[in-house]
Structure 1
């Protein structure tokens, strides 16, 4: 049997690519190396943060589209996938991050409320604002229910006739007018291929003669216990937050209100330590957890400053932290979505849409020049 499309990797990007292809009546096979659902990649876990607070207009344009597409999936699947909480943005008052985001958001008419320092504790009594920091609230952001979203996209894909084969690891790809994909269980052929393999993208792309500068890091996903249950909870309308760090601290911190584990708030360092995707559990670096503990002691007095639960996730980083959304430079019937750099989940519906458009030979509905492969090759 020859498929029109094979998509490799059933994380959020691959599942949404397959979803859009099936809705365009394309005979599509979605291949996944692990038995679904699994927690080995980058799309598992119960929650993700969604926000429009970006420094780049192209991301904000894509987010306008993605919010509509998330709402559409909610309707199709009959499942609640998004909860609006607002996003608290904090960072050095004179640092470039906060000022740049503020001006880009104002230019794009995204509602924000600047919280004056002397009024901050009235609005957010359970957080100590770091000396020299400014703060603002983006009202449109909130929480995506990640596991639920992944299942919903896959279910709608299957309802449109799509086929999922999980527990099948791809071991070879032979490009050509008809592409042959070999797994450890069988061989499949398709006229078009989309590779959305997350941390395994680099290995799979090497079968097609393409080397991309992708680096995989393991993230410690930390949950912190509330001293008074409910004080940082989603039901008490506590917002998500982003803490932009001064330059010398290098990486930012983000958090989501207590929700999936009652009484535990998710606060994580937005970076981790380099790893091999199949060896991630051997990576035991906890310097980020120590840095978070001291941040929580200072800024979140209502949390116990030792994590109650530490899970893991992987980011696949590009050098500039922008995605790769492009055709293969040598094979026009192979399309690549990779390098989501720890901020790609929220874009799943729109990434799937543009990868579907690219692989169908249509003009993409967004400018993909920031995401081209060529930027690494010259």
Structure 2
């Protein structure tokens, strides 16, 4: 039976970052993944994600994002790949929109370069969109695109470079806690001093087997691509990434310029039907498509209001939208990373660093109180 310092279960972006940090610090590390790599069954596939520094509603993430940018740059240098493309991020809302006003205050407090625009200024800069005249618009100049596939590939590549081992196509069937933790797959048994569980949507299935029941749920997200009426109208040099928090019936909408597919713009609803991760394709997403068609028609006159490509990913949504980064309540050598709620990718380098620290029983680099399992003690069975 192979023995490791740490085994990380789940080779999505959070687990891969964790494994990378562990191997980089000389720990014998195994990264286990249930599906053959690369795959599109989880939450880390695809070519692009939005990133930004300002988190007006959750300012502890703004603090963490400062280091995340530095760590992404380090990974770029190590791998030789361009992972980040700066475009700026546009946010908009009415004068009483808490997200927009909170974003402006956060940008100001943390001295993050930004520009606040009124309607006329916005239209001069971004004539290809249409929003109410009484809206306030703000551009976080640090925002942009993370090349998701390249980021994941780079973590895997550098993990191996630092001596790590990846075993894909091996679903963990049993976790046996103890002074050392034993993992059983269909083909092998492994032991480790510590285990980190970064299993994405499958946290809803894995954690209950370890007597941890958290208020998290899995949603299927439609990743939609829309055709430009005029080719190049929404290219990255003309149009930024954007996020409108209260866009449609209280749901957020986000988008990226035409980057992945020539002539197609990625604009998606930040919500979706609740699903079982093993049967996600059965979900009825008609209401999502109808909502987004209306949104595109209303706000993006230079885009055809019918999606050309529809892909899917999953969010594992925690009740308060904060992550779960903590030791198991009973076994400190089992570490949980879960509930990334659709905004964990950009923070992955810091999440991986913190989970590695927890696995090694080192003092974490950040205040972990927002991420504790125990915050759910009133509505979670532990």
Alignment correspondent of 1:14: 15
Alignment correspondent of 2:153: 151
Provide the secondary structure at the position in 2 that maps to 1:151: helix
1:86–1:138 CA contact under 8 A, matched in 2: yes
Pairing 1:164–2:160 present:
no
Aligned partners of 1:266, 1:371: CA distance in 2, in Å?
30
Alignment correspondent of 1:300: 300
Return the match for 2:67 from 57, 60, 65: 65
Q: 1:1-378 to 2 correspondence within 5 Å?
A: 1-55=2-56, 56-234=58-236, 236-245=237-246, 249-378=249-378
1:302-350: CA deviations, max 9, x gaps? 1000000111000000101110000111001011100000000001100
Aligned partners of 1:228, 1:49: CA distance in 2, in Å?
24
Aligned partners of 1:232, 1:10: CA distance in 2, in Å?
33
- Of 122-131 and 159-168, more deviation after overlay is shown by 122-131
2:107–2:140 CA contact under 8 A, matched in 1: no
Q: Which runs of 5+ in 1 are unaligned?
A: none
1:293–1:305 CA contact under 8 A, matched in 2: yes
Aligned partners of 2:264, 2:120: CA distance in 1, in Å?
29
Aligned partners of 1:207, 1:244: CA distance in 2, in Å?
35
Aligned partners of 1:136, 1:349: CA distance in 2, in Å?
26
1:17–1:353 CA contact under 8 A, matched in 2: yes
2:325–2:372 CA contact under 8 A, matched in 1: yes
Q: Which runs of 5+ in 2 are unaligned?
A: none
Aligned partners of 2:284, 2:264: CA distance in 1, in Å?
22
User: How far did residue 131 of structure 1 move?
Assistant: 4.2
Aligned partners of 1:32, 1:297: CA distance in 2, in Å?
41
Please give the TM-score of this superposition, normalised by the length of structure 1: 0.98
- Of 291-300 and 223-232, more deviation after overlay is shown by 291-300
Provide the secondary structure at the position in 2 that maps to 1:130: coil
Provide the secondary structure at the position in 1 that maps to 2:4: strand
User: How far did residue 226 of structure 1 move?
Assistant: 0.3
1:195–1:337 CA contact under 8 A, matched in 2: yes
1:7–1:18 CA contact under 8 A, matched in 2: yes
Aligned partners of 2:102, 2:259: CA distance in 1, in Å?
31
User: How far did residue 94 of structure 1 move?
Assistant: 2.2
Aligned partners of 1:187, 1:286: CA distance in 2, in Å?
43
Provide the secondary structure at the position in 1 that maps to 2:251: coil
Aligned partners of 2:289, 2:113: CA distance in 1, in Å?
33
Aligned partners of 2:279, 2:82: CA distance in 1, in Å?
35
1:245-301: CA deviations, max 9, x gaps? 16x712110000011111000000001110000000111322122111111111111
Number of residues paired by the alignment?
376
Aligned partners of 2:59, 2:218: CA distance in 1, in Å?
27
Aligned partners of 1:349, 1:237: CA distance in 2, in Å?
29
Aligned partners of 1:118, 1:261: CA distance in 2, in Å?
30
